[in-house]
A and B are shown apart, each in its own frame.
Chain A
Amino acid sequence: MLSITNIHASIEGKQILNGINLSIQAGEIHAIMGPNGSGKSTLAAVLAGREQYEVTEGAVTFLQKDLLEMSPEDRAREGVFLAFQYPVEIPGVSTTNFIKAAVNEKRKYRGEEPLDAVSFMKLMKEKMAMLRIDQSLLSRSINEGFSGGEKKRNEIFQMAMLEPKLMILDEMDSGLDIDALRIVANGINKLRNENNAILIITHYQRLLDYLQPDFVHVLYNGRIVRSGTKELAMELEENGYDFIKEEANLITAE
């Protein structure tokens, strides 16, 4: 589904990613872990097409298409969804209207008619029930005055409504207490199927207790320095990132 080859990226002249290779198949869950400043969130931003980041080398193919050639909105319409670490507040725009615009833009891109009000409401109700989202959240301005947990649940709700192929979760667990984390993780699990894939970006292991990753990759200094299974995450939890750093520095020194 997604194939990242030797990606180098920088922001304002500062090199952050130094050659990332990663391949994700439909139905898989991958977790990217790493210490602060290792380039985890940059990778998410580059995949989503954030303009401030410049890709200096490498290629990304998504469903047989050149992802880097596409505008951020076309990437979204093709099925790339980024659940933001810090979802943005947009005063005055109700969550319902926002999601409706997003759903219909995607339909337009595919050459489909916009959803009529009745079908849209039906879809909303269905997903609300599935994720146990409260109606009152949806009539409020998007993310405005939402608690940390509400913002994250709202991201998951949008994900449910847009049914993306690739779900990138950037630090989904930050700012969530254990109950909120469980609710959010359960929501994500409900959206999983054999046709989509999840890329989890996280600093801690705890989210991975709920979302069982097939592969865990450790990012350090803009490179994947280790890949493994769930056990690798456990190891990191136990020993911290230091041993990875030492290993990586050793390799670089050679």
Chain B
Amino acid sequence: MKQELNTLEETVSGDYKYGFVTDIETDVIPRGLNEEVIRMLSEKKNEPSWMLDWRLKAYRHWLTMEEPKWPNVNYPEIDYQDISYYAAPKNKGKLKGLDEVDPELLRTFEKLGISLNEQKRLSGVAVDVVVDSISVATSFKKQLADIGIIFCSISEAIQKHPELVRKYMGSIVPATDNFFAALNSAVFTDGSFCYIPKGVRCPMELSTYFRINTGNSGQFERTLIIAEEGSYVSYLEGCTAPQRDENQLHAAVVELIAMRKAEIKYSTVQNWYPGDHNGKGGIYNFVTKRGLCLGDYSRISWTQVETGSAITWKYPSVILKGDHSVGEFYSVALTNHYQQADTGTKMIHLGKNTKSRIVAKGISAGYSQNSYRGLVRAGKNAAGARNYSQCDSLLLSDHCGAHTFPYIEVKNATSVVEHEATTSKIGEDQLFYCKQRGIDAETAVALIVNGFAKEVMNQLPMEFAIEAKKLLAVSLEGSVG
């Protein structure tokens, strides 16, 4: 039995496939953070003065704030002066098309399984690619523009669509919202911007691929998606980073707004470098994601598959302001080795007859700690609000931890809130049963884990569901005890 445990522990050692560094010329500003750095950054991006003012205001507020200590995670203090806040692949002049992208960079993305070449791409997916601090390419822009959809980097949006950016940026996650959101507001460098006009159903998946390449740099991206009345968009983000011994900070902000009868489906496959088997290195993923169902009958749905990062701290939330609006959160968080995740959601019911659904699946292996933290709040006026939450944990070793912190606040008499939770462990009996059918331990664990996560995986767009399924298997490679 002991021996069995060891073999299983050994098979845990799935190696991170995306840990390489691309050797490209990079424009990096010196480490450190002060107003001068922010000015320099804003200037490099040729930003209008209102943007710089907004950043400085955020920075000044950030200085007054303290890093949150309530999450169930442990890490040494971050030295914010030891991070470079801007790193960008160097370019000669402005890019006119994908042909002008540095071939080394194109090869990087081929290696990651993402072809930027539109002919070779999966049909029906438009991609924006962000390396370190800047967006390097966006595909299918023209086709989308023909039906009025704007899909570009946030930097481009600041230049070309300032009225939209000024109106909505910070309206859902204010610059003062929390420590990391304030930091992001001060130093965000790039991200994606999507605008779906009234009545338009976006005909393809929009996706952004984030890649941290440069060492000692942080990635602070900002994404803003606006869905006008009766529109629909499905958006997906993916992320990877090289394998490094030091920790790197990723502090993103994502804001979504859905008008009347609009629907936004936001999916994340997060695979930042998780650190090595002893917990050395890895990305600190401190992210604020929030959607606002502003109009009646609007719908926002978050789906996340979190397998990477040394530490994950994120709570994609929905504010259900419009009457009859719907918020959903589907999550699979997998932690292995010494990874720590404190993740969940907030569903804030403000409008009448609003509905929310939470399905969170935590998988813990190795020595990892996996926490679900969720808040369901029904306000005074949220008559008839309904929530259903389900939190399931699957333990794959004797050393890992699974924790659930559900918070429920109901301020009216007609709301119905349901919470269900289960914890299970893959047992020796289950594994032996599989083996007796010719299925080895590794395949058996993948089968069981995918079965456990199925309800969430089914929410992902098809092409990505297959990828995500493989990712779960790779991240575990048989970690049972």
Interface residues of A (CB under 8 A from B): 48-52, 71-73, 75-77, 81-82, 84, 87-94, 97-99, 101-102, 105-106, 109, 141, 158, 162
Q: A76-B437, A105-B440, A109-B438 are in contact. Are A98 and B447 (CB under 8 A)?
A: yes
A-contact 0/1 string along B430-451, CB 8 Å cutoff: 1011111111100100011011
Contact of A72 among B436, B450, B451 (CB under 8 A): B436
Contact of B429 among A72, A88, A92, A101 (CB under 8 A): A88
Contact of B437 among A49, A71, A91, A102 (CB under 8 A): A102
Q: A71-B435, A73-B438, A105-B439 are in contact. Are A51 and B429 (CB under 8 A)?
A: no
B451/A73 in contact, CB under 8 A: no
CB-CB contacts below 8 Å: B439-475 with A: 439-440, 443, 447-448, 450-452, 454
B448/A93 in contact, CB under 8 A: yes
> B74 an interface residue at 8 Å Cβ cutoff?
no
Contact of B451 among A76, A81, A141 (CB under 8 A): A141
A76/B436 in contact, CB under 8 A: yes
Q: Which residues of A contact B452 (CB under 8 A)?
A: 91-92
Bound CA–CA A126/B446 (angstroms): 28
CB-CB contacts below 8 Å: B417-434 with A: 424, 427-430, 432-434
A48/B436 in contact, CB under 8 A: yes
Bound CA–CA A29/B433 (angstroms): 24
Q: A92-B454, A101-B447 are in contact. Are A50 and B438 (CB under 8 A)?
A: no
Bound CA–CA A165/B430 (angstroms): 23
Bound CA–CA A89/B430 (angstroms): 7
> B104 an interface residue at 8 Å Cβ cutoff?
no
Q: A90-B430, A92-B448 are in contact. Are A52 and B435 (CB under 8 A)?
A: no
> B278 an interface residue at 8 Å Cβ cutoff?
no
A97 nearest CB neighbor, chain B only: B447
B422 nearest CB neighbor, chain A only: A91
Q: A88-B430, A90-B451, A101-B443 are in contact. Are A158 and B437 (CB under 8 A)?
A: yes
Nearest-CB distance from A162 to chain B (Å)?
7
B430/A101 in contact, CB under 8 A: no
Q: Which residues of A contact B436 (CB under 8 A)?
A: 48-49, 72-73, 75-76, 81-82, 84
A158 nearest CB neighbor, chain B only: B437
- With a 10 A CB-CB cut-off, give which of B4, B428, B439 has the most chain A CB atoms: B439
Contact of A102 among B3, B427, B439 (CB under 8 A): B439
Q: List 17 A-B contacts (CB under 8 A).
A: A51-B428, A71-B435, A72-B435, A73-B436, A75-B436, A88-B427, A88-B430, A90-B430, A90-B448, A92-B450, A97-B451, A101-B443, A102-B438, A105-B438, A106-B438, A109-B438, A162-B438
